[in-house]
Chains A and B, each alone.
Chain A
Amino acid sequence: MALEDSHVRRAAHLARLAVSDDQASGFVDDLSRILDMVDQLQSVDTEGVMPLAHPLDATQRLRADEVTETNQRDSFQRCAPAVEEGLYLVPRVVE
Protein backbone atom coordinates (compact mmCIF):
# COMPACT_ATOMS: atom_id res chain seq x y z
CA MET A 1 0.00 0.00 0.00
CA ALA A 2 1.88 3.11 -1.21
CA LEU A 3 2.15 5.89 1.32
CA GLU A 4 1.70 9.50 0.24
CA ASP A 5 2.59 12.81 1.79
CA SER A 6 -1.08 13.36 2.62
CA HIS A 7 -1.15 10.17 4.70
CA VAL A 8 1.76 11.37 6.84
CA ARG A 9 0.20 14.80 7.26
CA ARG A 10 -3.13 13.24 8.24
CA ALA A 11 -1.46 10.93 10.77
CA ALA A 12 0.55 13.85 12.17
CA HIS A 13 -2.64 15.87 12.53
CA LEU A 14 -4.46 13.01 14.26
CA ALA A 15 -1.48 12.41 16.55
CA ARG A 16 -1.17 16.14 17.33
CA LEU A 17 2.45 16.09 16.25
CA ALA A 18 3.96 19.10 14.48
CA VAL A 19 5.91 17.97 11.41
CA SER A 20 7.80 20.37 9.13
CA ASP A 21 7.81 19.99 5.32
CA ASP A 22 11.36 18.58 5.38
CA GLN A 23 10.49 16.11 8.11
CA ALA A 24 7.31 15.02 6.32
CA SER A 25 9.20 13.94 3.20
CA GLY A 26 11.68 11.97 5.35
CA PHE A 27 8.81 10.27 7.15
CA VAL A 28 7.14 9.39 3.82
CA ASP A 29 10.31 7.48 2.82
CA ASP A 30 10.78 5.76 6.20
CA LEU A 31 7.14 4.90 6.71
CA SER A 32 6.80 3.61 3.14
CA ARG A 33 9.66 1.18 3.71
CA ILE A 34 8.12 0.04 6.98
CA LEU A 35 4.69 -0.44 5.40
CA ASP A 36 6.25 -2.35 2.48
CA MET A 37 7.67 -4.74 5.09
CA VAL A 38 4.32 -4.88 6.91
CA ASP A 39 2.51 -5.69 3.66
CA GLN A 40 3.98 -9.21 3.86
CA LEU A 41 1.11 -9.91 6.27
CA GLN A 42 -1.33 -9.84 3.36
CA SER A 43 0.09 -13.12 2.05
CA VAL A 44 -0.95 -15.02 5.21
CA ASP A 45 -4.22 -16.93 5.02
CA THR A 46 -6.18 -15.76 8.07
CA GLU A 47 -9.60 -16.94 6.95
CA GLY A 48 -11.58 -17.91 10.06
CA VAL A 49 -8.81 -16.80 12.46
CA MET A 50 -9.92 -14.66 15.40
CA PRO A 51 -7.75 -11.61 16.18
CA LEU A 52 -5.65 -12.03 19.34
CA ALA A 53 -5.45 -8.83 21.40
CA HIS A 54 -4.14 -10.37 24.64
CA PRO A 55 -1.24 -12.83 24.51
CA LEU A 56 -2.84 -15.09 27.13
CA ASP A 57 -6.16 -14.83 25.24
CA ALA A 58 -7.63 -13.38 28.43
CA THR A 59 -10.34 -10.78 28.74
CA GLN A 60 -9.73 -7.58 30.60
CA ARG A 61 -10.49 -7.92 34.32
CA LEU A 62 -12.83 -5.34 35.86
CA ARG A 63 -12.46 -4.06 39.39
CA ALA A 64 -15.27 -3.29 41.79
CA ASP A 65 -16.66 0.20 41.30
CA GLU A 66 -15.35 1.46 44.62
CA VAL A 67 -13.28 4.46 45.63
CA THR A 68 -9.81 3.18 46.51
CA GLU A 69 -7.57 6.18 45.94
CA THR A 70 -7.05 9.22 48.10
CA ASN A 71 -6.72 12.74 46.73
CA GLN A 72 -3.08 13.34 45.73
CA ARG A 73 -3.58 16.42 43.60
CA ASP A 74 -0.80 18.45 45.20
CA SER A 75 1.68 15.63 44.76
CA PHE A 76 0.73 15.04 41.11
CA GLN A 77 0.73 18.73 40.23
CA ARG A 78 4.27 19.14 41.51
CA CYS A 79 5.51 17.83 38.15
CA ALA A 80 3.13 19.92 36.02
CA PRO A 81 4.59 22.63 33.76
CA ALA A 82 2.09 25.29 34.87
CA VAL A 83 -0.58 25.24 37.59
CA GLU A 84 -2.54 27.84 39.49
CA GLU A 85 -4.82 27.33 42.47
CA GLY A 86 -4.88 23.59 41.90
CA LEU A 87 -5.73 23.89 38.20
CA TYR A 88 -3.59 23.06 35.17
CA LEU A 89 -2.90 26.16 33.08
CA VAL A 90 -3.29 26.00 29.30
CA PRO A 91 -3.73 28.70 26.64
CA ARG A 92 -7.20 30.25 26.56
CA VAL A 93 -9.67 28.02 24.67
CA VAL A 94 -12.87 30.04 25.24
CA GLU A 95 -12.89 33.71 24.23
Chain B
Amino acid sequence: MHDKTVTQLAAALKSGEFSSRELTSHFLQRIEQADGTLNSFITVTAEQALEQAEVADQSRKAGNAGTLTGIPLALKDIFCTQGVKTSCGSKMLDNFIAPYDATVVEKLRTAGTISLGKTNMDEFAMGSSNENSHFGAVKNPWDLSAVPGGSSGGSAAAVSAGLVPAAMGTDTGGSIRQPAAFCGITGLKPTYGRVSRYGMIAYASSLDQAGPMARTAEDCAHLMNVIAGHDVRDSTSVARGVPDYTETLNAPLSGLKIGLPKEYFGDGLDPEVEKAIRAAVKEYESLGATVREVSLPHTHYAIPAYYVIAPAEASSNLSRYDGVRFGHRCNAPADLIDLYTRSRAEGFGEEVKRRILIGTHTLSEGFFDAYYTKAQKVRRLIRQDFLDAFEDVDVLMGPASPTPAFDLGAKKDPVSMYLQDIYTIAVNLAGIPGISVPAGFAGGRPVGLQILGTHFAEAQLLNVAHQFQQATDWHLQLPAFAEENA
Protein backbone atom coordinates (compact mmCIF):
# COMPACT_ATOMS: atom_id res chain seq x y z
CA MET B 1 0.00 0.00 0.00
CA HIS B 2 2.83 2.39 0.86
CA ASP B 3 4.07 2.54 -2.74
CA LYS B 4 0.72 3.85 -3.98
CA THR B 5 -0.18 7.49 -4.55
CA VAL B 6 -3.03 9.21 -2.74
CA THR B 7 -5.05 9.00 -5.97
CA GLN B 8 -4.48 5.24 -6.18
CA LEU B 9 -5.27 4.74 -2.50
CA ALA B 10 -8.49 6.75 -2.87
CA ALA B 11 -9.53 4.52 -5.77
CA ALA B 12 -8.71 1.38 -3.77
CA LEU B 13 -10.74 2.60 -0.80
CA LYS B 14 -13.62 3.39 -3.12
CA SER B 15 -13.55 -0.04 -4.74
CA GLY B 16 -13.38 -1.75 -1.34
CA GLU B 17 -9.95 -3.28 -1.94
CA PHE B 18 -9.15 -2.44 1.67
CA SER B 19 -10.65 -0.34 4.44
CA SER B 20 -9.32 2.90 5.85
CA ARG B 21 -8.66 1.09 9.11
CA GLU B 22 -6.47 -1.46 7.30
CA LEU B 23 -4.70 1.31 5.42
CA THR B 24 -4.16 3.39 8.55
CA SER B 25 -2.87 0.37 10.49
CA HIS B 26 -0.44 -0.37 7.68
CA PHE B 27 1.11 3.09 7.81
CA LEU B 28 1.15 3.18 11.62
CA GLN B 29 3.03 -0.10 11.57
CA ARG B 30 5.57 1.31 9.11
CA ILE B 31 6.07 4.38 11.29
CA GLU B 32 6.64 2.19 14.32
CA GLN B 33 9.16 0.09 12.42
CA ALA B 34 11.11 2.80 10.59
CA ASP B 35 10.81 6.08 12.39
CA GLY B 36 13.30 5.19 15.10
CA THR B 37 15.86 5.57 12.33
CA LEU B 38 14.35 8.49 10.40
CA ASN B 39 13.00 10.63 13.28
CA SER B 40 10.45 12.13 10.90
CA PHE B 41 7.63 12.31 13.48
CA ILE B 42 7.50 14.27 16.73
CA THR B 43 4.11 12.90 17.74
CA VAL B 44 2.24 9.86 16.45
CA THR B 45 -1.49 9.85 17.21
CA ALA B 46 -2.17 6.16 16.57
CA GLU B 47 -5.26 5.78 18.70
CA GLN B 48 -6.98 8.87 17.32
CA ALA B 49 -6.02 7.87 13.78
CA LEU B 50 -7.64 4.47 14.14
CA GLU B 51 -10.78 6.07 15.58
CA GLN B 52 -10.90 8.52 12.65
CA ALA B 53 -10.40 5.61 10.24
CA GLU B 54 -13.40 3.80 11.76
CA VAL B 55 -15.49 6.93 11.23
CA ALA B 56 -14.24 7.20 7.64
CA ASP B 57 -15.16 3.58 6.96
CA GLN B 58 -18.63 4.16 8.41
CA SER B 59 -19.05 7.29 6.25
CA ARG B 60 -18.12 5.31 3.19
CA LYS B 61 -20.61 2.56 4.04
CA ALA B 62 -23.28 5.23 4.48
CA GLY B 63 -22.47 6.64 1.05
CA ASN B 64 -21.04 9.90 2.39
CA ALA B 65 -17.42 9.50 1.31
CA GLY B 66 -15.59 12.26 -0.52
CA THR B 67 -12.49 11.84 -2.68
CA LEU B 68 -10.05 11.82 0.25
CA THR B 69 -12.20 10.13 2.90
CA GLY B 70 -10.10 7.63 4.80
CA ILE B 71 -6.71 8.74 3.43
CA PRO B 72 -3.96 8.92 6.09
CA LEU B 73 -1.84 12.09 6.17
CA ALA B 74 0.66 13.77 8.45
CA LEU B 75 0.87 17.40 9.55
CA LYS B 76 4.00 19.44 10.08
CA ASP B 77 4.14 20.23 13.79
CA ILE B 78 3.55 23.91 13.00
CA PHE B 79 -0.22 23.39 12.56
CA CYS B 80 -2.23 23.77 15.75
CA THR B 81 -4.13 20.54 16.33
CA GLN B 82 -6.70 20.48 19.08
CA GLY B 83 -5.77 18.20 21.95
CA VAL B 84 -2.45 17.21 20.39
CA LYS B 85 1.03 18.49 21.23
CA THR B 86 1.97 21.23 18.77
CA SER B 87 5.64 21.96 19.42
CA CYS B 88 6.84 23.72 16.25
CA GLY B 89 10.06 21.74 16.77
CA SER B 90 10.86 23.79 19.87
CA LYS B 91 11.55 23.16 23.53
CA MET B 92 9.51 26.33 24.05
CA LEU B 93 6.32 24.51 23.00
CA ASP B 94 7.26 20.98 24.08
CA ASN B 95 4.39 21.12 26.61
CA PHE B 96 1.86 22.94 24.39
CA ILE B 97 -1.42 21.15 23.70
CA ALA B 98 -3.20 23.32 21.15
CA PRO B 99 -6.70 24.36 22.27
CA TYR B 100 -7.98 24.68 18.69
CA ASP B 101 -7.46 23.41 15.15
CA ALA B 102 -5.72 25.35 12.39
CA THR B 103 -8.04 25.97 9.42
CA VAL B 104 -5.96 23.57 7.30
CA VAL B 105 -6.38 20.86 9.94
CA GLU B 106 -10.10 21.51 10.21
CA LYS B 107 -10.55 21.34 6.43
CA LEU B 108 -8.57 18.11 6.10
CA ARG B 109 -10.56 16.54 8.93
CA THR B 110 -13.86 17.64 7.40
CA ALA B 111 -12.75 16.05 4.13
CA GLY B 112 -12.40 12.76 6.03
CA THR B 113 -8.62 12.43 6.00
CA ILE B 114 -6.86 10.70 8.88
CA SER B 115 -4.03 12.43 10.73
CA LEU B 116 -1.30 9.97 11.73
CA GLY B 117 0.58 12.62 13.68
CA LYS B 118 2.86 15.64 13.64
CA THR B 119 6.08 15.70 11.68
CA ASN B 120 9.50 16.94 12.73
CA MET B 121 10.73 20.33 11.58
CA ASP B 122 13.36 22.98 12.12
CA GLU B 123 12.47 24.97 15.22
CA PHE B 124 9.84 27.60 14.36
CA ALA B 125 10.48 26.70 10.68
CA MET B 126 13.92 28.32 10.78
CA GLY B 127 16.28 26.15 8.80
CA SER B 128 17.20 24.51 5.53
CA SER B 129 18.30 21.10 6.79
CA ASN B 130 16.04 19.98 9.66
CA GLU B 131 19.04 19.95 11.98
CA ASN B 132 17.60 22.77 14.13
CA SER B 133 14.82 20.74 15.74
CA HIS B 134 14.69 20.38 19.53
CA PHE B 135 13.64 16.79 18.79
CA GLY B 136 16.79 15.95 16.82
CA ALA B 137 17.72 15.89 13.16
CA VAL B 138 15.66 14.01 10.57
CA LYS B 139 17.50 11.69 8.18
CA ASN B 140 17.04 11.50 4.44
CA PRO B 141 15.57 8.12 3.40
CA TRP B 142 17.68 8.13 0.21
CA ASP B 143 20.88 8.33 2.24
CA LEU B 144 20.79 8.27 6.01
CA SER B 145 23.96 10.36 6.20
CA ALA B 146 22.23 13.23 4.36
CA VAL B 147 19.81 15.89 5.57
CA PRO B 148 16.19 15.75 4.33
CA GLY B 149 16.10 19.52 3.83
CA GLY B 150 14.17 21.95 5.93
CA SER B 151 12.13 23.14 7.50
CA SER B 152 9.43 20.64 6.39
CA GLY B 153 12.04 17.86 6.43
CA GLY B 154 9.98 15.53 8.61
CA SER B 155 7.03 15.71 6.22
CA ALA B 156 9.29 15.15 3.19
CA ALA B 157 11.18 12.23 4.73
CA ALA B 158 7.97 10.54 5.93
CA VAL B 159 6.38 10.69 2.46
CA SER B 160 9.60 9.64 0.74
CA ALA B 161 10.03 6.60 3.00
CA GLY B 162 6.40 5.53 2.55
CA LEU B 163 5.45 6.17 6.16
CA VAL B 164 2.52 8.27 4.98
CA PRO B 165 1.17 8.93 1.46
CA ALA B 166 1.12 12.74 1.82
CA ALA B 167 1.82 15.43 4.37
CA MET B 168 1.31 19.12 4.94
CA GLY B 169 4.27 21.47 5.01
CA THR B 170 4.88 25.19 5.15
CA ASP B 171 7.20 27.33 3.06
CA THR B 172 8.65 30.66 4.22
CA GLY B 173 11.80 30.67 2.09
CA GLY B 174 11.65 27.30 0.35
CA SER B 175 10.68 24.98 3.18
CA ILE B 176 8.30 22.86 1.09
CA ARG B 177 10.17 22.89 -2.23
CA GLN B 178 13.72 22.28 -0.98
CA PRO B 179 12.94 19.26 1.26
CA ALA B 180 10.66 17.90 -1.48
CA ALA B 181 13.63 18.16 -3.86
CA PHE B 182 16.07 16.58 -1.39
CA CYS B 183 13.72 13.67 -0.68
CA GLY B 184 12.47 13.01 -4.22
CA ILE B 185 8.83 13.96 -3.76
CA THR B 186 6.49 16.68 -5.08
CA GLY B 187 5.85 19.82 -3.02
CA LEU B 188 3.74 22.88 -3.85
CA LYS B 189 4.06 26.31 -2.26
CA PRO B 190 0.83 28.10 -3.20
CA THR B 191 0.44 31.84 -3.79
CA TYR B 192 0.65 33.87 -0.57
CA GLY B 193 -2.89 34.07 0.84
CA ARG B 194 -4.28 31.11 -1.15
CA VAL B 195 -4.30 28.80 1.90
CA SER B 196 -5.31 30.08 5.34
CA ARG B 197 -2.54 30.73 7.84
CA TYR B 198 -4.98 30.63 10.77
CA GLY B 199 -3.62 28.29 13.43
CA MET B 200 -0.27 27.96 11.71
CA ILE B 201 2.41 29.04 14.19
CA ALA B 202 3.81 32.25 12.72
CA TYR B 203 7.44 32.69 11.72
CA ALA B 204 7.44 35.48 9.11
CA SER B 205 3.85 36.50 8.48
CA SER B 206 4.29 38.12 5.05
CA LEU B 207 6.12 35.05 3.72
CA ASP B 208 4.67 31.93 5.40
CA GLN B 209 2.44 29.72 3.29
CA ALA B 210 1.09 26.19 3.82
CA GLY B 211 1.06 23.63 1.04
CA PRO B 212 0.88 19.92 0.18
CA MET B 213 3.75 17.43 -0.10
CA ALA B 214 3.08 14.10 -1.83
CA ARG B 215 4.45 11.73 -4.46
CA THR B 216 2.72 13.36 -7.40
CA ALA B 217 1.31 16.65 -8.66
CA GLU B 218 -2.05 14.92 -9.02
CA ASP B 219 -2.05 14.14 -5.28
CA CYS B 220 -1.12 17.76 -4.53
CA ALA B 221 -4.07 18.87 -6.68
CA HIS B 222 -6.47 16.73 -4.62
CA LEU B 223 -5.10 18.21 -1.41
CA MET B 224 -5.25 21.76 -2.76
CA ASN B 225 -8.94 21.20 -3.54
CA VAL B 226 -9.44 20.68 0.18
CA ILE B 227 -7.16 23.29 1.75
CA ALA B 228 -7.34 26.30 -0.62
CA GLY B 229 -9.77 29.14 -0.12
CA HIS B 230 -10.67 32.27 1.77
CA ASP B 231 -10.80 32.22 5.56
CA VAL B 232 -12.33 35.13 7.44
CA ARG B 233 -10.18 34.22 10.44
CA ASP B 234 -6.99 35.02 8.50
CA SER B 235 -6.87 38.65 7.42
CA THR B 236 -4.12 37.86 4.91
CA SER B 237 -6.20 35.16 3.24
CA VAL B 238 -7.39 36.13 -0.24
CA ALA B 239 -11.11 36.26 -1.11
CA ARG B 240 -10.98 34.77 -4.59
CA GLY B 241 -12.64 31.77 -6.23
CA VAL B 242 -10.88 28.41 -6.03
CA PRO B 243 -10.73 26.28 -9.19
CA ASP B 244 -10.93 22.47 -9.22
CA TYR B 245 -7.20 21.79 -9.40
CA THR B 246 -7.71 18.28 -10.83
CA GLU B 247 -9.78 19.45 -13.81
CA THR B 248 -6.91 20.95 -15.79
CA LEU B 249 -4.20 18.39 -14.98
CA ASN B 250 -4.40 16.82 -18.41
CA ALA B 251 -4.37 19.98 -20.50
CA PRO B 252 -1.78 19.57 -23.29
CA LEU B 253 1.45 21.54 -23.03
CA SER B 254 1.82 22.42 -26.72
CA GLY B 255 2.56 26.12 -26.95
CA LEU B 256 3.67 26.41 -23.32
CA LYS B 257 6.35 29.09 -23.05
CA ILE B 258 9.07 28.20 -20.52
CA GLY B 259 11.57 30.75 -19.26
CA LEU B 260 14.94 29.68 -17.86
CA PRO B 261 16.29 32.41 -15.56
CA LYS B 262 19.97 32.75 -16.43
CA GLU B 263 20.69 33.62 -12.78
CA TYR B 264 19.54 30.09 -11.80
CA PHE B 265 22.22 28.41 -13.91
CA GLY B 266 25.36 30.23 -12.80
CA ASP B 267 28.22 29.70 -10.38
CA GLY B 268 27.53 27.39 -7.48
CA LEU B 269 25.17 25.09 -9.36
CA ASP B 270 26.22 21.45 -9.06
CA PRO B 271 26.96 20.19 -12.62
CA GLU B 272 24.98 16.98 -12.09
CA VAL B 273 21.98 18.97 -10.83
CA GLU B 274 22.24 21.21 -13.89
CA LYS B 275 22.40 18.18 -16.18
CA ALA B 276 19.22 16.73 -14.64
CA ILE B 277 17.37 20.05 -14.89
CA ARG B 278 18.39 20.60 -18.52
CA ALA B 279 17.27 17.05 -19.36
CA ALA B 280 13.90 17.77 -17.74
CA VAL B 281 13.54 20.94 -19.79
CA LYS B 282 14.32 18.89 -22.94
CA GLU B 283 11.49 16.58 -21.94
CA TYR B 284 9.16 19.57 -21.87
CA GLU B 285 10.30 20.55 -25.35
CA SER B 286 9.36 17.09 -26.55
CA LEU B 287 5.90 17.69 -25.01
CA GLY B 288 5.46 20.77 -27.19
CA ALA B 289 6.80 23.57 -25.01
CA THR B 290 9.17 26.27 -26.22
CA VAL B 291 12.09 27.46 -24.10
CA ARG B 292 13.88 30.78 -23.87
CA GLU B 293 16.33 32.38 -21.50
CA VAL B 294 15.03 35.15 -19.25
CA SER B 295 16.60 37.31 -16.56
CA LEU B 296 15.64 37.98 -12.95
CA PRO B 297 18.27 40.65 -12.35
CA HIS B 298 17.74 41.09 -8.60
CA THR B 299 18.03 37.38 -7.75
CA HIS B 300 21.37 37.96 -6.03
CA TYR B 301 19.69 40.25 -3.48
CA ALA B 302 16.92 37.87 -2.46
CA ILE B 303 18.84 36.21 0.37
CA PRO B 304 20.06 39.50 1.88
CA ALA B 305 16.52 40.94 1.69
CA TYR B 306 15.03 37.79 3.20
CA TYR B 307 17.49 37.82 6.11
CA VAL B 308 16.29 41.28 7.06
CA ILE B 309 12.54 40.84 6.49
CA ALA B 310 12.05 37.33 7.88
CA PRO B 311 13.99 37.86 11.14
CA ALA B 312 12.30 41.25 11.61
CA GLU B 313 8.88 39.59 11.42
CA ALA B 314 10.11 36.66 13.52
CA SER B 315 11.38 38.93 16.28
CA SER B 316 7.88 40.37 16.51
CA ASN B 317 5.97 37.09 16.18
CA LEU B 318 8.14 35.29 18.73
CA SER B 319 7.71 38.01 21.34
CA ARG B 320 4.53 36.17 22.43
CA TYR B 321 6.66 33.42 24.01
CA ASP B 322 7.19 34.99 27.41
CA GLY B 323 6.55 32.10 29.79
CA VAL B 324 3.27 33.60 31.02
CA ARG B 325 0.32 32.18 29.03
CA PHE B 326 1.74 29.05 27.40
CA GLY B 327 5.01 27.40 26.58
CA HIS B 328 8.18 26.94 28.60
CA ARG B 329 8.60 28.81 31.89
CA CYS B 330 11.89 28.94 33.83
CA ASN B 331 12.07 27.76 37.43
CA ALA B 332 11.75 30.20 40.31
CA PRO B 333 11.99 33.52 38.46
CA ALA B 334 13.28 36.37 40.62
CA ASP B 335 11.07 38.97 38.96
CA LEU B 336 9.06 39.52 35.80
CA ILE B 337 12.03 40.45 33.61
CA ASP B 338 13.90 37.38 34.85
CA LEU B 339 10.83 35.29 33.97
CA TYR B 340 10.79 36.65 30.42
CA THR B 341 14.50 36.58 29.70
CA ARG B 342 15.29 33.17 31.19
CA SER B 343 12.17 31.45 29.85
CA ARG B 344 13.06 32.66 26.37
CA ALA B 345 16.76 31.82 26.73
CA GLU B 346 15.95 28.29 27.90
CA GLY B 347 13.11 27.67 25.45
CA PHE B 348 14.64 28.86 22.18
CA GLY B 349 17.46 27.14 20.29
CA GLU B 350 20.52 28.85 18.81
CA GLU B 351 19.16 29.55 15.31
CA VAL B 352 15.95 31.04 16.68
CA LYS B 353 17.95 33.29 19.03
CA ARG B 354 20.17 34.36 16.14
CA ARG B 355 17.16 35.41 14.06
CA ILE B 356 15.43 37.16 16.95
CA LEU B 357 18.62 39.16 17.61
CA ILE B 358 19.13 40.04 13.94
CA GLY B 359 15.48 41.05 13.61
CA THR B 360 15.50 43.12 16.79
CA HIS B 361 18.75 44.83 15.77
CA THR B 362 17.61 45.72 12.25
CA LEU B 363 14.30 47.10 13.55
CA SER B 364 15.93 49.13 16.32
CA GLU B 365 16.36 52.88 16.35
CA GLY B 366 19.12 54.05 14.02
CA PHE B 367 19.11 50.91 11.86
CA PHE B 368 15.49 50.59 10.66
CA ASP B 369 15.78 52.55 7.40
CA ALA B 370 19.19 51.20 6.44
CA TYR B 371 18.02 47.61 6.80
CA TYR B 372 14.26 47.13 6.94
CA THR B 373 13.03 49.88 4.63
CA LYS B 374 15.84 49.14 2.18
CA ALA B 375 15.01 45.42 2.16
CA GLN B 376 11.33 46.12 1.52
CA LYS B 377 12.26 48.32 -1.45
CA VAL B 378 14.50 45.59 -2.87
CA ARG B 379 11.61 43.19 -2.30
CA ARG B 380 9.48 45.23 -4.69
CA LEU B 381 12.23 45.06 -7.33
CA ILE B 382 12.46 41.28 -6.89
CA ARG B 383 8.70 40.92 -7.32
CA GLN B 384 8.77 43.16 -10.39
CA ASP B 385 11.47 40.92 -11.95
CA PHE B 386 9.02 38.01 -11.82
CA LEU B 387 6.08 40.05 -13.12
CA ASP B 388 8.22 41.28 -16.04
CA ALA B 389 9.32 37.72 -16.84
CA PHE B 390 5.73 36.47 -16.85
CA GLU B 391 4.91 39.05 -19.53
CA ASP B 392 6.97 36.91 -21.91
CA VAL B 393 6.68 33.35 -20.63
CA ASP B 394 4.04 31.17 -18.91
CA VAL B 395 6.26 29.49 -16.34
CA LEU B 396 9.85 29.64 -15.14
CA MET B 397 11.95 26.54 -14.59
CA GLY B 398 15.20 25.84 -12.80
CA PRO B 399 16.67 23.83 -9.95
CA ALA B 400 14.99 23.92 -6.54
CA SER B 401 18.41 23.85 -4.89
CA PRO B 402 21.96 24.35 -6.18
CA THR B 403 23.05 20.96 -4.81
CA PRO B 404 21.41 17.68 -3.87
CA ALA B 405 20.96 16.98 -0.15
CA PHE B 406 24.16 17.69 1.75
CA ASP B 407 25.57 15.61 4.61
CA LEU B 408 24.26 15.97 8.15
CA GLY B 409 26.53 18.40 10.01
CA ALA B 410 28.23 19.61 6.83
CA LYS B 411 27.21 23.26 7.07
CA LYS B 412 28.39 24.84 10.29
CA ASP B 413 28.38 28.49 9.18
CA PRO B 414 24.88 30.03 9.15
CA VAL B 415 25.57 32.15 6.06
CA SER B 416 26.69 29.14 4.01
CA MET B 417 23.46 27.40 5.08
CA TYR B 418 21.37 30.43 4.11
CA LEU B 419 22.90 30.46 0.61
CA GLN B 420 21.35 27.04 -0.05
CA ASP B 421 18.00 28.76 -0.56
CA ILE B 422 19.15 30.97 -3.42
CA TYR B 423 16.57 29.61 -5.92
CA THR B 424 13.58 29.39 -3.61
CA ILE B 425 13.66 32.45 -1.37
CA ALA B 426 12.76 35.14 -3.94
CA VAL B 427 9.51 33.30 -4.64
CA ASN B 428 8.30 33.95 -1.09
CA LEU B 429 9.33 37.61 -1.23
CA ALA B 430 7.24 37.94 -4.42
CA GLY B 431 4.36 35.78 -3.11
CA ILE B 432 4.14 33.70 -6.30
CA PRO B 433 3.52 29.91 -6.33
CA GLY B 434 6.20 27.29 -6.96
CA ILE B 435 6.37 23.52 -7.17
CA SER B 436 9.28 21.09 -6.97
CA VAL B 437 9.03 17.79 -8.84
CA PRO B 438 11.50 14.88 -8.87
CA ALA B 439 13.72 15.15 -11.96
CA GLY B 440 16.62 12.75 -11.56
CA PHE B 441 19.57 12.17 -9.27
CA ALA B 442 22.97 13.68 -8.54
CA GLY B 443 25.44 11.48 -6.69
CA GLY B 444 22.60 9.09 -5.89
CA ARG B 445 20.54 11.80 -4.21
CA PRO B 446 17.33 13.25 -5.69
CA VAL B 447 17.17 16.45 -7.74
CA GLY B 448 14.10 18.68 -7.80
CA LEU B 449 12.91 20.68 -10.81
CA GLN B 450 11.34 23.92 -9.62
CA ILE B 451 8.49 25.37 -11.69
CA LEU B 452 7.26 28.88 -10.93
CA GLY B 453 4.12 30.69 -12.08
CA THR B 454 2.54 34.05 -11.60
CA HIS B 455 0.21 34.78 -8.67
CA PHE B 456 -2.65 32.23 -8.40
CA ALA B 457 -1.27 30.03 -11.22
CA GLU B 458 -1.33 26.87 -9.05
CA ALA B 459 -3.62 25.03 -11.47
CA GLN B 460 -1.20 25.70 -14.31
CA LEU B 461 1.81 24.58 -12.24
CA LEU B 462 0.04 21.37 -11.28
CA ASN B 463 -0.85 20.75 -14.94
CA VAL B 464 2.73 21.38 -16.07
CA ALA B 465 4.11 19.14 -13.30
CA HIS B 466 1.53 16.39 -13.91
CA GLN B 467 2.31 16.21 -17.63
CA PHE B 468 6.01 15.77 -16.80
CA GLN B 469 5.07 12.97 -14.42
CA GLN B 470 3.01 11.29 -17.15
CA ALA B 471 6.12 11.25 -19.34
CA THR B 472 8.76 10.31 -16.72
CA ASP B 473 9.01 8.01 -13.73
CA TRP B 474 11.34 9.91 -11.37
CA HIS B 475 8.42 10.49 -8.97
CA LEU B 476 7.67 6.76 -8.78
CA GLN B 477 11.11 5.75 -7.56
CA LEU B 478 11.34 4.83 -3.91
CA PRO B 479 14.46 4.83 -1.73
CA ALA B 480 15.76 1.39 -0.78
CA PHE B 481 15.00 2.34 2.83
CA ALA B 482 11.27 2.30 2.03
CA GLU B 483 11.41 -1.37 1.01
CA GLU B 484 13.93 -2.50 3.62
CA ASN B 485 11.52 -1.26 6.28
CA ALA B 486 8.37 -2.72 4.76
Contact = CB atoms under 8 A, between A and B. Distances in A.
B357 A31 contact: yes
Interface stretch (B28-36, B40-48, B94-102, B212-220): B94-102
B315 interface: yes
B303 to A, nearest CB: 7
Interface in B352-374: 353-354, 356-358, 360-362, 364, 367, 370-371, 373-374
Contact of A81 (B304, B323, B373, B428): B323
A1 interface: yes
A41 B374 contact: yes
Contacts of A19: 345, 353
A39 B374 CA distance: 10
B415 A31 contact: no
Interface residues of A, number: 55
Interface stretch (B111-119, B136-144, B331-339): B331-339
Interface string B287-305: 0000000000010110111
Contacts of B206: 53-55
A16 B301 contact: no
Given A16-B322, A56-B193, A56-B238, A41 B301 contact: yes
Nearest to A60: B235
B325 interface: yes
A37 to B, nearest CB: 5
Nearest to B313: A53
Contacts of A50: 377, 380
A38 B315 CA distance: 17
Contact of A40 (B300, B339, B358, B429): B300
A31 to B, nearest CB: 6
B81 to A, nearest CB: 13
Contacts of A31: 354, 357-358, 361
Contacts of A1: 367, 370
Interface in B71-128: 95-99
Contacts of A3: 361
Contact of B319 (A11, A15, A27, A80): A15
What 9 A-B pairs are tightest by C-beta distance, nearest first? A55-B431, A51-B376, A81-B329, A52-B380, A18-B345, A46-B377, A18-B341, A16-B340, A11-B360
Interface of A: 1, 3, 7-8, 10-12, 14-19, 27, 30-31, 33-35, 37-42, 44, 46, 49-58, 60-63, 72, 75-82, 88, 90-93
24 contacts: A1-B370, A3-B361, A7-B361, A10-B361, A12-B357, A15-B344, A16-B319, A30-B414, A34-B415, A37-B418, A49-B381, A54-B206, A54-B431, A55-B383, A56-B238, A58-B193, A75-B99, A76-B325, A79-B96, A79-B99, A81-B328, A90-B324, A91-B339, A93-B335
Given A17-B341, A17-B353, 7 more contacts: A17-B344, A19-B345, A27-B357, A30-B414, A55-B206, A61-B235, A93-B336
